Amino acid sequence: MALPGYPRPSTAVEYDDRRRQARLRETRLGHDWIDWRRTRLILLRGSLIPLVLIGLFAQYLAWDVMPERARLARTEPAVMPIAGPSDPRAADTAVFDLVGLGVLDATDTAQALPSLSKLGSVWAVRYDNTGIDTKVIADLIVKVTAAARAPNVVLVGHSMGGVIALEIASHLHTGSDRRVLAVMLDCTPVDLHAVRPESRDQGEEMLRWTGWIPGARESRLLRFTVEMYARHERFMGGGRYGFRPERLREAVLQVLHDKILNSDIASNGLIEAQFKAIVAGGAIDDLRALAKPAAGKPRPAIVFIRPHDGYHDPIVDVDYSHRVLIDQVGGVNGTLLVITTRNTAHANPIQRPREYNAVIEQQAVPFIRLLRQQPVAVAAPPR
């Protein structure tokens, strides 16, 4: 009931949502920026891009990098027995085989070289997939040879594995009671200048990528990308879509099987450490340390296996390494033996086992046995 003199109250409240929205537009920040409306929208939408990228990066770390980092943290260097000595006179010697860039385990290579058993019991070195610590490997060799009662050691290094073998030999020669009888180098680059330019460029590019991409040392996604790019000539060009789908599928399956899902393959971090061992150029210093007696032990023999035609090795300039070895451990009173092969390429004993075993048995073994019999006084450093 309305009081006298007052209007009757409305029985319905008028509500217009359009007026509310219009009022909000009129009072919000920047409502009068008529000319900048498109810019404002672009900036607003563009601000979502970093959030998306951060989310993707978090997934990359969670699903790709961290599981592999946890797995690699559990790895460690090891040596696996391959064969006993085939000659009773070599029962006091242990031979350790080390492989090169991109390979983790020397088992297959050591098994392809039964001629090494003429020098002693044969062992294969398996690297730590997180990197390379030659002192740790040297200490492991001391422990294994002490248990096997084998005071003498021969190291065999294929390609970059020869650089690692020289550093291990230096540790053993100057800092242990083990006697290093010989270091056998198979197409080894003694420094970065011995790596051919195209291979050197690929290695330096890899170091740059692993240096600035977070998680690159563990990332399987990055490894897949690099491995596929290395094979792009197989499937790119020709075909209906500018590539060959069948060959692309074959390349993808091969990379997944051999490089990504294979737990025995070298990690990105190990490959980086292997290449850095060449870049550091310590092999020449190790050769100098091995070129003179130490702690009453004579200097070891150095055996260099290389193709007769240097251009048969597309990765290492073996002629350059040959010259450096002559300068460091060759000469009239030197301990260097250079073996040239006719049909081998770059450190490929698995592909050419017959020729490798022949030259090891016929040339390397007699040379190492002969030098072993020399007294320490004869083994003076070369001038």
Check residue 15 and give its pLDDT.
59
Tell me which of 177 and 198 has the higher pLDDT: 177
> Which distant-in-sequence residues (6+ apart) come within 8 Å of 197 by Cβ?
none
Given a contact cutoff of 8 angstroms between Cβ atoms, the answer to whether 89 and 101 are in contact is no
State the amino acid at position 59 in one-letter form.
Answer: Q
Question: Which domains, ranges and CATH numbers included, belong to the chain?
Answer: 79-194+277-378 (3.40.50.1820)
Q: Which range, of 51-60, 278-287, 359-368, averages the lowest pLDDT?
A: 51-60
Given a contact cutoff of 8 angstroms between Cβ atoms, the answer to whether 85 and 117 are in contact is yes
Dist CA 191 CA 277 (whole Å): 9
Mean pLDDT (the chain) is 84
The pLDDT confidence band at residue 55, using thresholds 50, 70 and 90, is confident
How large a percentage of the chain has pLDDT more than 90? 46
CB atoms closer than 10 angstroms to residue 96: 28
Q: What mean pLDDT is predicted for residues 172-188? A: 96
State both tokens at 104: 């983790």
pLDDT tens-digit series, residues 231-272: 777 778 766 667 778 888 888 888 888 777 776 777 777 777
> Please, what is the end-to-end C-alpha distance for the chain in angstroms?
126
- pTM for the model stands at 0.77
Dist CA 124 CA 171 (whole Å): 18
Check residue 377 and give its pLDDT.
41
Given a contact cutoff of 8 angstroms between Cβ atoms, the answer to whether 301 and 287 are in contact is no
Q: What mean pLDDT is predicted for residues 154-164? A: 95
Dist CA 364 CA 339 (whole Å): 8
Dist CA 108 CA 54 (whole Å): 43
Strand 121-126: give its sheet, edge to edge.
78-83, 121-126, 93-98, 152-158, 179-186, 301-307, 336-341
Cα torsion through 366, 334, 166, 110, rounded to 10: -10
Check residue 58 and give its pLDDT.
81
How far is C-alpha 287 from the geometric centre of its chain's CA atoms?
A: 23
Q: What mean pLDDT is predicted for residues 21-31? A: 68
Dist CA 247 CA 241 (whole Å): 13
State both tokens at 83: 């064969």
Which residue shows structure tokens 């300039």? 317
| Phi and psi based region of residue 271 (left: phi greater than 0; alpha: psi -120 to 50; beta: remaining) | alpha
Tell me which of 127 and 7 has the higher pLDDT: 127
pLDDT tens-digit series, residues 193-239: 999 988 777 777 766 766 667 776 778 887 788 777 767 777 787 66
State both tokens at 152: 């003498």
Catalogue the long-range contacts made by 200-209 (C-beta closer than 8 Å, 24 or more residues apart): 203/275, 203/278, 203/279, 206/271, 206/272, 206/275, 207/272, 207/275, 207/276, 207/279
Is residue 380 scored above 50 in pLDDT?
Answer: no
> Which distant-in-sequence residues (6+ apart) come within 8 Å of 77 by Cβ?
125, 126, 127, 128, 133, 136, 137, 140
CB hemisphere CA count around 349 (13 angstroms): 29
Is residue 70 scored above 60 in pLDDT?
Answer: yes
Residue 3 DSSP symbol: P
Check residue 274 and give its pLDDT.
78
State the amino acid at position 151 in one-letter form.
Answer: P
Check residue 201 and give its pLDDT.
74
Given a contact cutoff of 8 angstroms between Cβ atoms, the answer to whether 154 and 162 are in contact is no
Is residue 381 scored above 60 in pLDDT?
Answer: no
